[in-house]
Amino acid sequence: MASNAKFEISFAPATGRDLSFREKVGVLVMAAKLVTALPFLVIRAFFGGKSKSGKSWIYELRSRLLYFALARLHPRQINLINPPSAIRIKAVSKGLKVPVTFDEVEGGGKVHWWGERKGRKVFFHIHGGGYNLGIGLHHLLWLHRTQELLKSRGVEADFAILEYSLTPTARYPTQMIQSVEGLRLLIEKYNYDPANIIISGDSAGGALVLSVASHILHPHPSGAIKPLILPESSPKLGGLIAMSPWTSFATDYNSMQNPTGKDVVFPYFVKIWSRWLVDRPDEPRHQSLPPLAATDKKYTWDEYNQAGQADPSWWTGFPVKKSIVLIGEDETLRDSIVDFGDKFREGVEKGQGVVDIVLCEGEIHTECLYDTPVAKVQKVPGKMAEAIWSFSADVLKDNVK
């Protein structure tokens, strides 16, 4: 396995347009190595049998392919093959023949409507990608599949997708502002009853949905984000889904230091992406980032961008009726999410809230998102996928008005 150490000191941002020639060649080299290694990965996955998740060897192969490729790429190189969110949404929606419209929100974000908007219940999703990558094909296929599956279970829900500004050009709290304003749009412009809203996010998006709920409960002290006050008649959102939420910037957890060889998140990703998002409290601003203007506020780590930093008391009075946190047993963020989940559940339940923490055996980071293409061949939903579908159907059925 290639060493990751060479990536740890490279914090300079880039897009596919300004990568060095060497970095672009590196992507091609990775692809060539992947082709060469494919037979060995197939044999290892096949003879390894079913994973602990109960899925077939096809899923095991998928995880090992992802690990092999991403272990050999820097986040700068991943940007080369990942188009902006708006382009991805337009292309995928055209291929699936799904009508898409959008609203702009304060702060520079957009809310894309996946399909026709009917205005009763809504599933509002904020995608992950380390705050640095646009929405992926796997996100959109998953959301499309989820919308169709909920419909088959008798739940008609609008699907709204947030497009937020990416790091390092836009840094914290920009993405949080756009997330709050996206939810405000649903409630104040389109009059969705908060009880009929599920706010969902994966990875960095999971961190953002937690930051939005935190802001409702504890308005951000900087004053940079307008308070979002839910109506007295409906003072709580219906549901919150945090899939493998990125709740800590620390890389010294056991699951981070001893990876399973299957996951899509690596310690150097966490170091680079967190540095691009917000300044560390114990270090000066990195030289690769533009200097602060005299009027700019310096932000650092806090409970909004790093939910694992919050004590249990922070979550008491949580403004959501039912919440679910999904954790992949084989993901590198596992231990940090478990640590967060214990404090989160303690605080929420003290305030009479409902929290379900689901450890998904044999599954990786945001496993359900990577299930969708494979499920065309192996029609077996994973634990993470089924938990989210059941949760969503229950929440939205309970709150029909």
Per-residue pLDDT of 151-172, as tens digits, reads 999 999 999 999 999 998 899 9
- Identify whether 190 is part of a domain: yes
For the chain, give me the number of helices (H) and strands (E)? 12, 8
Q: What is the pLDDT of residues 1-31, one digit of tens each?
A: 333 433 333 444 444 456 677 877 777 777 7
Pseudo-torsion of CA 100, 106, 107, 108, nearest 10°? Answer: 30
Mean pLDDT across the chain, nearest whole number? 86
Residue with tokens 């077939």: 56
- Identify whether 103 is part of a domain: yes
pLDDT for position 377: 46
Catalytic residue among 85, 203, 255, 336: 203
DSSP 286: P
- Identify whether 12 is part of a domain: no
Number of Cβ atoms within 10 Å of the Cβ of 81 = 11
Number of Cβ atoms within 10 Å of the Cβ of 341 = 23
pLDDT for position 291: 59
- Identify whether 353 is part of a domain: yes
DSSP secondary structure, 3-47, as one string:
-SGGGTT------TTS--HHHHHHHHHHHHHHHHHHHHHHHHHHH
Q: Is 390 a catalytic residue?
A: no
Q: What is the pLDDT of residues 326-359, one digit of tens each?
A: 999 999 999 999 999 999 999 999 999 999 999 9
Residue 348 structural domain: 84-282+298-398
Q: Which two tokens stand for residue 232?
A: 């007295």
Asked if 13 contacts 287 with a C-beta cutoff of 8 angstroms, the reply is no
- Identify whether 53 is part of a domain: no
- Identify whether 57 is part of a domain: no
Q: What is the pLDDT of residues 183-218, one digit of tens each?
A: 999 999 999 999 999 999 999 999 999 999 999 999
pLDDT for position 289: 59
From CA 184, how far away is CA 178, in angstroms rounded? 10
Q: What is the pLDDT of residues 57-74, one digit of tens each?
A: 666 776 677 667 667 677
Of all residues in the chain, the percent with pLDDT exceeding 70 is: 82
Asked if 29 contacts 21 with a C-beta cutoff of 8 angstroms, the reply is no
Asked if 211 contacts 304 with a C-beta cutoff of 8 angstroms, the reply is yes
The CATH code of the domain that includes 257 is 3.40.50.1820
Q: What is the pLDDT of residues 275-331, one digit of tens each?
A: 989 987 766 655 555 555 555 577 899 999 999 999 999 999 999 999 999 999 999
Residue count (the chain)? 401
From CA 163, how far away is CA 100, in angstroms rounded? 13
- Identify whether 244 is part of a domain: yes
Q: Which two tokens stand for residue 372?
A: 């969708």
Q: Which two tokens stand for residue 230?
A: 């839910």
The domain tally of the chain equals 1
Residue 170's alpha-carbon distances to 176, 215, 247, 306, in angstroms, are: 11, 19, 20, 17
Q: Considering only CA atoms, which of 304, 364, 308 is closest in space to residue 337? A: 308
pLDDT at 252 over 90: yes
From CA 326, how far away is CA 396, in angstroms rounded? 19
pLDDT for position 286: 57
Q: Considering only CA atoms, which of 262, 265, 238, 234 is closest in space to residue 249? A: 265
pLDDT at 361 over 90: yes
The CA-to-CA distance between both ends of the chain, in Å, stands at 54
pLDDT for position 202: 98
- HEC per residue, 323-377: EEEEEECCCCCHHHHHHHHHHHHHHHHHCCCEEEEEEECCCCCCHHHHHHHHHCC
* 3-state secondary structure at position 268: helix
**Where is average pLDDT lowest: 51-60, 114-123, 145-154?**
51-60
Residue with more model confidence, 119 or 46: 119
**Where is average pLDDT lowest: 1-5, 129-133, 136-140, 257-261?**
1-5
Indicate the pLDDT class of residue 56, thresholds 50, 70 and 90: low
- Identify whether 28 is part of a domain: no
pTM of the model: 0.86
